[in-house]
Amino acid sequence: MKNIGLIAPLWDWNVKYPFKTITCYPPLGLAYVASYLEKHGFAVSILDRSAVFAQSHFSMNALNIKTVEWIREFQLEIIGVSCCTGEHGDALKVAAMVNRAFPHIPVVFGGPHVSALAPLLLERYPIIDICVSGEGEISMLEICQSKKLEDIRGISFRKDGQIVNNPPRDVHKNIDDFAFPARHLLDMHFYTKRSTHLVPPLFIRGTDVISSRGCPYNCYFCASKVALGKGVRFQSVDLVIKELELLIDRYHIKALSFVDDMFATKKKRVKEICQKIINKGIHKELKWACQLKADIVDKELLQALKEAGCVLVEYGFESGSQKVLDRANKKAHVSFYYSAAELSRKAGILFQANIIAGLPGETVEDAQMTLSFVKKVKPDWLVLSRFKPLPGSIFYNELIDAGRLSVDIWERLFILEENPFNCSAMSDEQYARMLHHLHRHLFFIRSRKFIFNNFKCGIYHPRLIFYGVNRALNPKFKHLLYSIFR
């Protein structure tokens, strides 16, 4: 029986802004891989460097020492490292650390970033031994079983100085085979502590759940298909309910978030889940949230969600400009957004608006339309993200083909906080000014309940107060404040 270690790296921006690691989400992707390996007789341990970083008082030196000690303690024989684009920098640091201190241990990379760039990563970084593209459960199992690398679908590796790319692995249709994630290998006390991040703006104890894999849509800014494939695969309703009951009984959670790419792809299934939640009395135990697409929302669906204990729905509005939405292939009309907001409010469900600033082709006028839109719909919670061209997305490929990006832009994507890469139709000066304007205005379009709960969260985690103030202040004062609070 081999000892397998799985590592979730630190997000690259956490090194510069460590207070963002105060509230972490469990690495469920690795937990699913770990569960599948355990079912086949392997001993597995998981290290989440974001959690350890927060628990080590944001000391990189302490984090790295604990990582080496963990590898030595569990006598690991294979190490798997998950890698999203935003974790790229720390993932490479981990690989270098392993290569330097434990050169006999093979390092396997996987995740969305790797699925998009496997050959390039192997070419550039000899510290990586194997890359897994697509879902990792079966490929990682076959690697751990010492199957010939040439016979394992969905991986890339080196042989005789050459990079070998095996045929892709078909997606596994029955995802019930992967249930449940190995949460017993995680510090669930840390992940379930009270915060406003799980079901905003509620200050509550909970965790997240994945009930399906994949998305039926093809938004040009999204790269999920490179890892999860096309289409959607669903966990059976009975297993979804069983997992909720397990989380309540074992971890005493009071809230959860379904983090499926799109929870209501099948309305009939969602209504069945809601009915069984009610039948089991789970709606009396849990408040929960999910993500919906605005153009599929109707009164009946929202009523079913409300009765089953759903208190918040998340909408990927992205922009208030129809031109920008069409350019991003959102397949939605702004009018649907206004309707979804109104229906949610009438149903008594809070709603979160997700906005992306700086999408390709966006002008100052488009950004102003987005600001106007948000002011009109008055979301209960708002998430404003800067557009980043993720490897594997349509926009990433388009921008490279147009000569606007270098192929290695991802090496800097998540550390360009003060001078973000500009892919919009605005000048750099206009873009920077608009970002500050949006942050200053949009982050304070909140209800009194939002402010109250964030104040409570700030009592437990004072650095979060600085994070909100930091977003609203003039950039000239940010470095001074950060040096004081650090």
What is the C-alpha to C-alpha distance for residues 295 and 10, in angstroms, rounded to an integer? 35
What residues contact residue 267 under an 8 Å CB cut-off, 6+ apart? 296, 301
Spell 356-395 as b/e; 16+ CB within 10 A means b. bbbbbebbbebbebbbebbeebebbbbbbebbbbbbbbbb
Judged on CB neighbours under 10 Å (0-12, 13-18, 19+), 419 is: exposed
Q: Which pLDDT does position 30 carry in this prediction?
A: 97
The predicted-structure confidence for 315-336, as pLDDT tens digits, reads as follows 999 999 999 999 999 999 999 9
What residues contact residue 468 under an 8 Å CB cut-off, 6+ apart? 443, 454
What is the C-alpha to C-alpha distance for residues 318 and 165, in angstroms, rounded to an integer? 36
As a whole number of angstroms, the longest Cα–Cα distance in the chain is 65
Domain ranges of the chain: 3-165, 192-485
The predicted-structure confidence for 126-137, as pLDDT tens digits, reads as follows 999 999 999 999
Any idea which architecture 192-485 has in CATH? Answer: Alpha-Beta Horseshoe (3.80)
CB 169 within 8 A of CB 190: no
Q: Which pLDDT does position 166 carry in this prediction?
A: 97
Q: Which fold has domain 3-165?
A: Rossmann fold (3.40.50)
What is the C-alpha to C-alpha distance for residues 159 and 148, in angstroms, rounded to an integer? 12
What residues contact residue 483 under an 8 Å CB cut-off, 6+ apart? none
Question: Residue 213: which of 281, 279, 134, 280 has the closest Cα?
Answer: 134
Question: Residue 26: which of 208, 175, 228, 197 has the closest Cα?
Answer: 208
Q: Is beta strand 212-213 parallel, antiparallel or unpaired with respect to 233-234?
A: antiparallel
Q: What is the pLDDT along the chain (486 residues), one digit of tens a residue?
A: 799 999 999 987 666 655 555 556 899 999 999 999 999 999 999 999 999 998 888 889 999 999 999 999 999 999 999 999 888 889 999 999 999 999 999 999 999 999 999 999 999 999 999 999 999 999 999 999 999 999 999 999 999 989 999 999 999 999 999 999 999 999 999 999 888 788 887 888 999 999 999 999 999 999 988 989 888 999 999 999 999 999 999 999 999 999 999 998 899 999 999 999 999 999 999 999 999 999 899 999 999 999 999 999 999 999 999 999 999 999 999 999 999 999 999 999 999 999 999 999 999 999 999 989 988 998 988 888 889 899 999 999 999 998 888 877 777 666 545 446 788 999 988 888 888 777 776 656 554 445 555 554 444 445 445 544 554 454 444 444 444 444
